[in-house]
Structure 1
Amino acid sequence: MSDSKEPADELAGTEQPFVQHLMELRDRLLYGMAGLGICMALLAIWPGPSGLIDLIAVPILSHMPAGTEKLIAVGVFSPFFVPLKVLAMAALLMSLPWWMYQIWAFVAPGLYSHEKRFAVPLIIVGSLLAYMGIAFVQFFVLDKMFGFIQQFTPKSVAATPDIASYVEAILSLYLAFGLAFQVPIVVVLLVKMDLVTVEKLKEFRGYFVVLAFIIAAVVTPPDVISQLALAVPMCLLYELGIWGSQWFVRSTQAPATPEDSAS
């Protein structure tokens, strides 16, 4: 008879009733909303809704003719609701790490210690990638895109965009690039969950390039600048995800048991 014992499952006995899970989820949502409210209050104090509008309007105003560097408000309530919308979106972005922490705190009790060790780095990297995608839009894509579009504006046409449509357009770009920059995280998670192998990802590389350009053509305005600006980083981030998945899977392997060592 062997004296070896089965390794104890560190999650054994930690199961909770379904109602308790719902209560935990409710608390996490309330914590997240509280953080969002604090961020909105801070941004309302400085730089304020008007300051945020002035910031996001810089790329298009820099390409408008001298003396016309202003956006117009067609809707009756646009001057009031559009700045509030921008304030809410900015607060959501500012509180993104806090929301990610709440998600992690909710699922952490169901993770093993070797999985918890790398959950926080994934959250941090995912948040940083989202911020990088939005900053890429604000400081590069919008400037190049509006410069390209203004070249085709006839001299007899006064290009004075509506503030509501402008904000809607750039917020959609922020969302598209923020999500697209999560490609490495998605690739790592797919490999970690054994849904796909690194070898299959390498074989799919050519198809992903085509897929990236199709996605860019669908979610970006019909100009080549913004489409290339989204598709090319997605392809580079896909390669980063392949490299990261190999390292991540090796680093998050479960500790070897005595039976594994014997075999």
Structure 2
Amino acid sequence: MLKSARKQEKQDQRAKDAEGRMPLVEHLRELRNRLLKSVLAVLVITIVAAVFYKDLIAFMLKPMLDSVGCIDGVVSQRNGRPCADMTVNGLIAPFSIVLKVSLSAGVVLSTPVWLYQLWAFVAPGLHNHEKKYAVGFVAVGAPLFGAGAVLAYKILPQTAVILLEFTPDNARNLLPVDDYLDLVTRMVVVFGLAFELPLLLILLNITGALTAKRLASWWRAMVLGITVFAAFATPTGDPLTMMSLAAPIVALYFIALLVCWLNDRRRARSNPDAELDDDEASEVDLTPAEVGAVEAVPAPSALPEQADGGRQRINGYDDAT
């Protein structure tokens, strides 16, 4: 009975306002519910990932061990370069590593869920024909986040090689596993969210908050901002690592620009006034309804001639004007 009453209440609310408008309290309640669902999805997948912890930690450590790992923990050089021993320090460290690995897997693997919840929170403000893009939003957003995570996973070995080049002679590197996992998690989240930039721009364009013309005018600032972001997001900041992150995001930005341009063209075809500025009026159709309805407009009658102080006025004005 309680569920049916709540369902009927929601239907009544939607019937009152078909456009999805709701007061601030309802928006906050909706945001709370969406966040709870997202957190619950992350929590469930985190618990499942904890069961397969050993396989996950082996997968995350493999590229680092293959590139800079010391052989048998004894050799201080690997292929003529410094290497690092993966270590676990402290009694609680193994348990914290389990939590970090499981949580990282939960955030990445639950991407379709929290992306859909994000779209569902925005969807009430959209038109009915725009809500159909929900499936496409999730279908594109999840692979984009995954692509960013994979890129971070591939960049890490090269990053480690560059950083270990600064090791002093006759020194041995000890790389704590928990510090390494913090770096992996940060890079995966940052790279994954950075790859969501084009989806955010397209979402703003669909909602009407951003036009392709305005987005195109920002291309220089966007390229510069993406480059600066890549310089801070990558641990080393070397040109190779920085460009490996900046180049895909710039390419995705221009792809998003193309999609926004096509969407604006679609809107323009259905709305003849779409290209007008806010302060520009549309053309007025002055064509008469009937051809025979055209009548000559009589000329204004002239004012009588007036004399003022000896100066003659014609049509109310003196000869000087």
Higher Rg: 2
- Which has a greater percent of helix? 1
- Percent identical: 29
Change (3 A) 1:21 1:91: same
Instruction: Give the number of the structure with larger relative contact order, counting CA–CA contacts within 8 Å between residues 6 or more apart.
Output: 1
Change (3 A) 1:44 1:23: same
Partner-residue secondary structure (3-state), 1:114 = coil
Task: Say if 2:198 and 2:252, in contact at 8 Å, map to a contact too.
Answer: yes
Describe how 1:74-85 pairs up with structure 2 within 5 A: 74-85=89-100
TM-fit CA distance, 1:173: 1.0
Change (3 A) 1:155 1:58: farther
What whole-Å deviation, never above 9, does each CA across 1:220-263 have from its counterpart, x for those lacking one?
A: 21341321221222221111111121234445x49958x99xx9
Give the counterpart letter for 1:52 in structure 2.
L
How many residues align? The count is 249
Change (3 A) 1:80 1:13: closer
TM-fit CA distance, 1:129: 0.6
Change (3 A) 1:180 1:243: same
2:42 to 36, 45, 50: 36
Q: Provide TM-score, normalisation by structure 1.
A: 0.79
Partner-residue secondary structure (3-state), 2:130 = helix
TM-fit CA distance, 1:75: 4.1
Q: Distance in 1 between matches of 2:211 and 2:26?
A: 36
What's the counterpart of residue 89 of structure 1?
104
Q: Distance in 1 between matches of 2:50 and 2:231?
A: 36
TM-fit CA distance, 1:21: 4.7
Describe how 1:1-263 pairs up with structure 2 within 5 A: 11-12=17-18, 15-16=21-22, 19-45=25-51, 47-48=52-53, 50-62=54-66, 63-68=68-73, 70-138=85-153, 140-224=154-238, 225-250=240-265, 253=267, 256=270
Partner-residue secondary structure (3-state), 1:160 = strand
Partner-residue secondary structure (3-state), 1:161 = strand
Q: Distance in 1 between matches of 2:149 and 2:100?
A: 17
State the superposition RMSD in angstroms: 3.2
Q: Distance in 2 between matches of 1:158 and 1:56?
A: 22
Q: Structure 2 stretches of 5 or more lacking a match? A: 1-14, 74-83, 275-284, 286-321
Change (3 A) 1:136 1:115: same
